[in-house]
Structure 1
């Protein structure tokens, strides 16, 4: 699938990390902002949803996935959907707590991602790790 435009960790180090490495949620949000701001059809609501989804994806990779190993963000050809891909070192699929305790932090990220995304998939990578791909309507 050929999607345009694309921002990847190989092309962008918006978070100040070394070339080819995304290290923070803020850096990923900056990439998304750069992709969406020029679009006339992108709503602030869609941008907020994309920022929340990528923040959850990256923080989950850092907390539960053994570390972030890849990040890409790109638009479909008609710029109506944003695709986010996050890779980490774990082959364990993400999961939500059945009923998170309202007094305890955590356990809500995967559920939030699934509610915000139009599509959501998890692929185990050859060798090790996984890639989570979500699309957000613009």
Structure 2
């Protein structure tokens, strides 16, 4: 006589657990962490470099006490930064220099307050408010030029 075996339903394996993570997920998490650390480090270095450039600009301008001397210091700093962006730019004179300083943004130097850079350093007296407006424009443009933006 043949013995009857009791039949049972098909048993499915238990669903896989989400923990511990498979090795592939650990590699993805590690790659994301590495990219995050590298990007954060680059941003920190960029911010630090910008702060040093702005401290250089502010220190040089603050060392020049009078209006015409301050304008000459601003102009010198802009020319130094222009050499960094374009070696030929530091040789520009007059209107061509102001157009270069305008960049792509607008015409603040050639048509606005920045025109004071042309003859302000040669005047015996310069309006303090005008010098401060030029300083603010020049500070922003100095940073752009140091970053390599034309």
Q: Which of the two has greater strand per residue?
A: 1
Report the TM-score range of the alignment, normalised by the length of the smaller protein.
Answer: 0.3 to 0.5
Structure that is richer in helix per residue: 2
TM-score (norm 2): 0.30
Q: What TM-score does the superposition give when structure 1 sets the normalisation length?
A: 0.32
